[in-house]
Amino acid sequence: MKQLVAALALLAGWVMPGGADEFRWAVQPSSASGPTGRDYFVYDVQPGQTLTDYVAVTNLGTEPLTVNVYGTDAFTTSDGSFALLTADRGPTDAGTWIAVSTATHTIAPGKRADVPFAVTVPADATPGDHVGGVIGSVSGEALSGDGQRIKVDRRVAARVYLRVAGPLRPAIQFTSLDVAYDNPVNPFAGGGAEVTYTLRNTGNVRLGAGSQVSLAGPLGWALGERGKELPEVLPGSSLTVKERFEGVFPAGRVTATVELSPRVAVSEPIARAASRWAVPWLLLAACLVAVAATVVALRVRRRRRQ
């Protein structure tokens, strides 16, 4: 079984956008009587189920704040960050399940609005993880670098994790793997090798994994190894990872092997390898010149003897 990692970055809890003091606010899970200490909205649901909850929007500024509250879909960016669709892109998954009865709220300085919303899971919802966010958006105008007035949409959000009951299918796929080598001016100093690989979460659950990248030369000669934890990747999203190795001796063909050790619902690790020739061209050229000089010298000696 091929699996992966999924990881989430952030847009939740007490997050305050920069800017003037009058435009500071926080968004977090709440209840009818106030925040409950939850970091995110996390639900295990059944197809066709409806539930209600609250999101708190707190005005931390010095002026009244008008906030638009709505839901949208989440995804993992290629660098592993958790992100939400921009306002000009309509949701197609979890974001469409979130309905806020009263979307626009004006909140006095230092006050909080506990906004109710409903999550309606479609009867034909597919099993697995569906991830989105409840956004508190403030629209306004700002001056661009050249002094032009532009419309600005500042957003703070709390993440929403929904897991629909049914068979879970954790799976990941390598979509690319490449190793590049930079030949050094001084071959004895070693060159730089960069391993780049892309993974796609092809399953229906978010996953996380440890990654082990190793470099080997001819006959399995170990040239370097790196280990790291990969960020979580949501279903349908891809992650691109780069690992840089310095001081790699140009010993010939270099093979990079990437092995993942998934943390969630996976029975076996997966691995993939790629190769590149690391040839010490300057040293090789010097050797060829030396060989050529030796051959010429031998020929001259033979002619003299004749």
What one-letter code names the amino acid at 36? Answer: T
pLDDT of residue 141: 74
Are 234 and 264 in contact by the 8 Å Cβ rule? The answer is no
Q: Which of 110, 143, 164 is the last residue of a domain?
A: 164
Claim to verify: residue 81 and residue 187 sit in the same structural domain = no
Are 134 and 56 in contact by the 8 Å Cβ rule? The answer is no
What's the whole-model pTM score? 0.76
How do beta strands 82-84 and 65-76 pair?
antiparallel
Claim to verify: residue 186 and residue 209 sit in the same structural domain = yes
Q: DSSP per residue over 14-46, as a string?
A: S----S-TTS-EEEEEE-TTS--S-SSEEEEE-
Q: Does the structure show a pLDDT above 70 at 280?
A: no
Q: How far apart are CA 259 and CA 272, in angstroms?
A: 7
Q: Does the structure show a pLDDT above 80 at 181?
A: no
Claim to verify: residue 132 and residue 84 sit in the same structural domain = yes
Q: How far apart are CA 142 and CA 227, in angstroms?
A: 44
- Beta-bridged to residue 17, according to DSSP, are none
Total domains in the chain come to 2
Note down the domain range covering 134.
Answer: 25-164
Q: What value does the mean pLDDT take over residues 165-169?
A: 94
Claim to verify: residue 102 and residue 159 sit in the same structural domain = yes
Q: Which of 18-22, 200-204, 231-235 has the lowest mean pLDDT?
A: 18-22
Give a yes or no: residue 183 inside a domain: yes
**CATH number of the domain residue 63 falls in:** 2.60.40.10
Q: What is the pLDDT of residues 91-133, one digit of tens each?
A: 999 999 999 989 999 999 999 999 999 999 999 999 999 999 9
Q: What is the pLDDT of residues 31-77, one digit of tens each?
A: 999 999 999 999 999 999 999 999 999 999 999 999 999 999 999 99
Of the chain, the percentage scoring pLDDT greater than 70 comes to 75
Claim to verify: residue 187 and residue 154 sit in the same structural domain = no
Q: How far apart are CA 263 and CA 86, in angstroms?
A: 30
Claim to verify: residue 159 and residue 251 sit in the same structural domain = no
Claim to verify: residue 117 and residue 207 sit in the same structural domain = no
Are 266 and 224 in contact by the 8 Å Cβ rule? The answer is no
- Least Cα distance to 69 among 86, 78, 85, 57 occurs for 57
Give a yes or no: residue 291 inside a domain: no
291 φ, ψ (degrees, to nearest 5): -65, -45
Q: What is the pLDDT of residues 228-267, one digit of tens each?
A: 999 999 999 999 999 998 877 676 777 888 998 877 633 3
pLDDT of residue 256: 85
Are 3 and 262 in contact by the 8 Å Cβ rule? The answer is yes
Q: Does the structure show a pLDDT above 50 at 144?
A: yes
